[in-house]
Chains A and B, each alone.
Chain A
Amino acid sequence: MPSPADFLASSKSSVADERLHRAIDTAAHRFLDTRAEVFAGFPNGEALRQRARALKEQSLARLDECLEALQAALEKNGATVHWARDSAEARRIVSAIAAENRVSVVVKGKSMLAEEIELNEALEASGIEVVETDLGEYVVQLAGERPSHIITPAIHKSQQEIALLFHRRLGSPIYTQAEEIAAEARRALREKFLRAEMGVTGVNFAVAETGTLVVIENEGNGRMATTIPPVYVALLGIEKVIPSLRDLAPFLDLLPRSATGQKLTAYTSLISAPAQLGNRKQEMHVVFIDNGRSRILADPAMREVLFCLRCGACLNACPVYRKVGGHAYGYPYPGPIGAVLAPNLAGLDTASDLPFASTLCGACRDVCPVKIEFPTLLLELRRRIATARGKRSERAVVRAWSKTVSSPLLYRLASRLARLCEPALRWPAIARRLPLARSWYEVRELPRLAKRRFSERGPEGDGRGGKRT
């Protein structure tokens, strides 16, 4: 499991990077605008969000039955099902399938779960060439980076940077048009698709009743990766199961609209059986991956994290994400969803910064297709982190503050004291030496105290109190 980095440290450079802000801001606002537009012409949108949320809740309530039914249906259709408790087990399973089939090239569709279990590294360690085939993901792979957005992995890169990257890595001319770059990728990747012995993708939804995996994408790379290679491996997070095909409709209505502002993406593949090409019968494997999900299921306060459709809308809406970018989160899932997923999947102690990387403004909840209550979840995580690892000094300060403000006498004394100390506190050399205050002062200035205390002022304009200045 990738461990989320120290958010404060890693966000410092991106906060100062204005080029990055512009790139992300432009893209994120375009996402938000197209989303708003498509929802405006979609009168059932609000009711559908409510229904999708209820459907997720009901599906998870019978997750065990759904998983068993899904396995039975998939096996009946000719696929092989594997179960993985954690990422190490999932990596072992996929590596073993690759080894059995003497695989040398793997083509991958975009999969957040593959990032989560760090599959590429494992396959590469056994000498396999792993090729990302989503254009943005391919760019990020060529650059030796990680995706910084769930939907647009190379959101942080300008066209010019990508053109130079292609020039350096693929020897192509320095293109000036996005079309030329995409055409170069098409040529390079077409060859990989035809050569690869194995395709790997994630899964957006799985329908238990019919054994159908739903793969949603725009480029056609997902369709290629699931059909052309003789071996296809699907990575399925166990929370993605829904009972029946009719339950799928509201999700297909909501996910593309929330993610890219489209009514549907170019390709929605319903995959229930191996792909047949001529006489070749494809080998199809589905890996059911838990990796912390059943633990979240057992936590009533956190369960709704599992409703997430991975649409990325909360990233676009988040003022913090737009300022720091995806890499600062140090985790495959950035933004608000990362801030609630990381502590739950990777553990409170490794991701203790992320729940604090939020203004709690709730813009994420307002665009979420399944109405995840992000602010409530973030506050609960903060509470747990503070209880588990709050510094004794911090707790003492908060306790003292709480005592002071609840006692009129202490409060009056304290505000007098503050007035006395104010000039000293303004002196940076002194202020920065104060315990706990240092990091506060680094990025802020102390606001000036009013000339008169509130209690000394009467209602405005009554002749007794001072006028507001």
Chain B
Amino acid sequence: MDSFTGILSGFAVALQPTYLLTALLGATVGTAIGILPGIGPSLAISLLLPFTFHLVDPIGAFIMFGGIFYGAMYGGSTTTILINTPGESSSVVTAIDGYQMARKGRAGAALATSAIGSFVAGTIATFGLMILAEPLVEFALRFGPAEYFALMVLSLCTVTAIGGGQPWKAAFATLLGLSLGMVGIENTSGQLRFTFGVPSLFDGIDVVVAAIGLFAISEVLFGLGNLRGKTEPRLIQAGSLWMTKEEWRRSWAPWIRGSGAGFFVGALPGAGATIAAFLSYAIERNISRHPEKFGQGAIEGVAGPEAANNASAGGALVPLLTLGIPGSATAAVMLSAFQGYGINTGPLLLTYHPELVWGLIASLYVGNLMLLVLNLPLVGMWVKLLKIPEALLYPIILAFSTLGVYSLNRNVVDLFVAYGIGVVGFVLRRYRYPLAPVILGLVLGPMLETEFRRALIGSRGDWLIFVERPLAATILGGAALILLAPWLVRLMTGRRREAGVGGDDVQRPESGR
């Protein structure tokens, strides 16, 4: 089946009324969580997992998750532009010029260029995913355990080196995630590890439990811990959503460039939407003829990053669907959802579940169109969400999290595990340790160990297998290079920085909220 017949069959699935409805539901929920500061796509998908397991089949669930993933990227920009608080960490960079545009009375134009740019980017990224899926799967079918092991190492190295901003802290976060992933019955030998005789831990720490602990509990602690003495955010009226001819002319090139950069960064295992947005901002400022206008309401600084963070969501689905390797916290939670449905991920996903993969891709086109309609003409409706008092919103997030965690296994122990992880997450975030690598490590840990041991069993204990297979060696070499990249960059830019050119950093922490 080539991509064309594949996508046709996908539309036959995605256009069924039930799936149209789940796509709309996903897009709506996604936009809402994008608008609400503090709840990100990975947390939203974790919270919804207990529902989807009981209500919809895997196709419906993934169509919904796709809508949430794309929708969060759309919604994040609205909050950022109108109240100068990022709705998502991936919209942090949009705040710089978006809020300035809003103050100058161009809030409507900023919202429009974000939404249309997100649409362009989402469509381009979905197209990229569509044409890349088949060839990548063909390629990946030749991978052995050594190659998979190398790819996962690459993913963990990327998230360590550039995902967190502070490599050593990110490295600890990754290792902590890996060690949490070792709790429970070990895959190959069946030995119990780190369970301390608690039966609920035999199956390991559920990704949903960890994600809710890390993202929900720690987020609420920061949210309510800073509530007192906080001034009411000033909401800027959106006004007319019309873009002038000049604004159109200045937007389309950043949309295309942002889409390309975002898709590429998103497809890289370990780098996510935040980095994509910052990269796009840096590109736009560097090629602009008026870089001095950036920071004072340059529409390019909104169009590019908002396109990039959307495209990165499409890019992140590439390694997830073709290799079964998640590149971000959100993709990691989606991978655990596949496992929860008993679906084997990896290159054979497309062979065994073509209707799921193509249906998801087709529904992303449809969902993207829904999101454009939801976010542009209906933006006034969404803004009302920002009026929900935080004193009520945060306790409800915790109550909802409690329901989500408990209903997984109907077990109180899971709640205490989430509580413990939440406290650790709070401390980590307080000291600027990134949280997304913990989730990635937790999900990748068991897979990493299984492939590692499979490779060594295949080679009869010869550790050289990881360097003797050219592909595995190349990937591991790439991983090493990425780990060393920050030092290399610093060596090269060190002198420039001392001369006072510093401060224009590209990367920002991927907090994975």
Are A and B subunits of one complex? no
**Which residues of B pack against A, CB within 8 Å?**
none
**Which residues of A pack against B, CB within 8 Å?**
none
